[in-house]
Structure formats: structure tokens, C-alpha cells
Structure 1
Amino acid sequence: MDNFVIISGCSGGGKSTLLAQLKRRGHAVIEEPGRRVVQQQVRDQGQALPWLDLVGFLRSVMDMALADYRSAVQNTTQWVFFDRGVIDAAAALERLTGEPVLAAVAESCRYHRQVFLTPPWPEIYVQDAERRHGMQAALEEYEQLQGVYPALGYQVSLLPRTAVDERADFLLERLAEN
């Protein structure tokens, strides 16, 4: 969908803060499926957690991201910003298991051609109850995503390391240009 915009990139790079700003400005926002899966699994005492069952976790994230995409299809008149999405989960699952899931998902769930990545930002990176991995794992994930999106035909823009208002302005200006 041409109005579905992915904001992805390095864990701890300010995606959620940016999405909250876009939401305050009146835009539709889909929160990160990975965090929601962790919260759900912890609440339900489930095992599909990245530190217990990474494959099960990624499958759950893919399922949630697909459901998010399908429910957002009803919104065809305004921007819908996704904090990550199905491509991130499929790329991670394929890398981990070798299952060829990325191409099929990328074909059936198209986003706006402009994808925004948050670069590594060690000064704001924080681990928490839901993000237990360290900066090195975040960097590896970021490097993978830098290759995944262009390989699927997306144009990648790196978000500047600036105040959240400036980041939101940058993103919206770039979308207006396309």
C-alpha cells in the first residue's frame, strides 16, 4: 500500500519515540509487534520470547505483523506508520532458520517505496525488560536490514540523529517529495 510507511532500523534508535510524535500529530501508527508479543507472552506466561524460543517468537511476531497489515488495509486515505513490520520479522526468521519466507511476505505485503531506518545511536540505547539484547545484536540486525529493504526494491532513507520534532519533519518532508 502506498500509504503504509515502515520505520525500521537499529533497536534503541528512537523508532518508538518518533512514532509517538507522529501519532501526536494525528497520524495512524502501528506499534512494534515484537514488543507487543513479548508483553503478551510475559502476561500469559508463554514461551515465545526471544530469550527462550527465538523461532517461536519470530513466528508470533510475523503473525501479529500480518494481522496489523491486514487490519490497516481499511485505512486508505492517510499515512499509516509501522514500527517495524512483517518484512523485519520474515527477514530475521529466514536468516535464523533458512526458511524461504521473506520473498512471499514481501510480495503480498507491500509498503510505500520509501523506508526509513533509524541508525545506531549508542547514546540513547537502553536495555529493558522487553529489550534484553545488547548493542552488538542491535547493530547486526541493523546491518541486515540495510541490505534487506533495498534488495526488495525499497528506497532507504536514514533518519537523522536529531530531536524528535526534527526527525518527524524530515520524514514527512521526504514523503511529500515522493
Structure 2
Amino acid sequence: MPQYPHTPEDTDPEGRGEPRFPRPPEGTADTDRRVVITGGPGSGKTTLVDALRRAGFATSPEAGRAIIRAQSAIGGLALPWTDPGLFAEAMLCWELRSHEAAGTSHGPVIFDRGLPDIVGYLRLEGREVPAHVDAAARAFRYRAQVFIAPPWPAIYRADTERRQTPEIARRTYEAMAAAYTDHGYELIELPRAPVAERVRFVVDHIGGSGAVGRPG
């Protein structure tokens, strides 16, 4: 579900030196305000989404990680290494709810992945994409330009929720790129750059009011 931040501070409260950005513009078109950032695991995607949240943007967290945490906590079966099909259905429910919740926002909502990611995931697993999953990815739309984080081996780290190898991470990137292209989206590749530069890159593309950067 989208996370709506409080008024942004002039500097990053956690001391990382990230710049303050203008509050996102209001009145964004319904589809255009749903902004997706996708890519393979370990490419800095979620770090970027978190930085955009601190900069004042509403965000919607990644379905996969949240579902893995919840299912692991309760001994559930909707896990990618236990039942990929059930895991995909859980992600579908999450993403549909997140898409609907973003409708209450008057400005952009930054999504950490979207519905076409589920198509890419199923293809990567060698599974047939159910008709209802494809229908959802085509019917519930996001901004036409989707940001994609390229593979970045230098920053890749595995953990308890990210079990893929760097090679699978690269194949995941390719699967997501193909899924979004097949569903009519234009891909904008993020630079392999520090998070503050990536934030500026996204803000420059989606727009904002006022000057970008720390106040003078």
C-alpha cells in the first residue's frame, strides 16, 4: 500500500547527505501519476525508491519481499522456492491493491515494481502466464515511461529474501525489460550512479515544482 510521507526535511534525517527535492506536483493525470521502477534484484532499485520517499514522494513497496517476509513468518506456502505459482498470485493481489490505493493520491506514486513484473517473473520461472495475469497487466496501467535499473554487479548482495545469483539477477532484468516492452511501455534505463544522482534523474523525467537541490 502506498506510503505517504510527512513534510520533507531540508536534508536527509539519517545523515546520508541526500538533497531535498520539491514536493511532487499535484493534478497529475491518473495513469501518469503511477510511476514504476523495475529491474533485477540487487540493482539499487529499492534504495532509490526509499530515497524518493524521503524526498517527499508517495511510494508503494515491492510486493515480493513483503510477501516473503509475511509467508516466512507464518509458515505459508506462497514463497518463490516453495510454490512459484502461488507466490505469483499473492503478488497479483498485492499489486492490484496497490494500484487501486494510488488512486487517492493527487501527485505521483513511485512503485517498486508493478503488474508486468509478475509476467516477467513467471516467464523467468519457465511457467505459462495465466490469462488473468496478462489481462491485469494490460488493463491496470502505469506511466508509459518505466524506469529500469540495469544489472550492477559491484553493489549486488544476497540476503535471506534475495537468493538469486548475479546471473539470475541479469536474466531477471532481461525478463522485466521484455515484459514491460511487450505490454506497451517505454523503458528508461537508470544510470549506474549514486542514489542522489538517480533521484535527480527520476525527478527530471517526471517533473516537479521549484528548484531541485538543497535550499540555497
How far apart are 1:23 and its partner, in Å? 0.4
Superposition map of 1:1-178 within 5 A = 1-75=31-105, 77-93=106-122, 96-176=127-207
C-alpha distance in 1 between matches for 2:95 and 2:129: 20
C-alpha distance in 2 between matches for 1:123 and 1:158: 17
**Contact 2:119–2:179 (Cα < 8 Å) also in 1:** no
**Contact 1:6–1:81 (Cα < 8 Å) also in 2:** yes
Tell me how large the CA RMSD over aligned residues is. Answer: 1.6
**Contact 2:119–2:129 (Cα < 8 Å) also in 1:** no
Q: 3-state DSSP class of the match of 1:20? A: helix
Of the two, which has the highest radius of gyration?
2
- TM-score between both structures, scaled by the size of structure 1: 0.93
Q: 3-state DSSP class of the match of 1:96? A: coil
CA deviations over 1:24-82 (Å, ceiling 9, x no partner): 1110011100000001001111111111111111111111111111111111x211000
C-alpha distance in 2 between matches for 1:156 and 1:90: 16
**Contact 2:37–2:113 (Cα < 8 Å) also in 1:** yes
The gaps in structure 2 that reach 5 residues or longer are 1-30, 209-216
C-alpha distance in 1 between matches for 2:202 and 2:133: 26
The share of aligned pairs that are identical, in percent, is 36
Q: Which runs of 4+ in 1 moved over 3 A?
A: none
How far apart are 1:106 and its partner, in Å? 2.3
How far apart are 1:5 and its partner, in Å? 0.4
> Which one has a larger percent helix, Structure 1 or Structure 2?
1
Change (3 A) 1:41 1:25: same
C-alpha distance in 2 between matches for 1:116 and 1:127: 23
- TM-score between both structures, scaled by the size of structure 2: 0.77
How far apart are 1:102 and its partner, in Å? 4.6
**Contact 1:62–1:90 (Cα < 8 Å) also in 2:** no
The gaps in structure 1 that reach 5 residues or longer are none
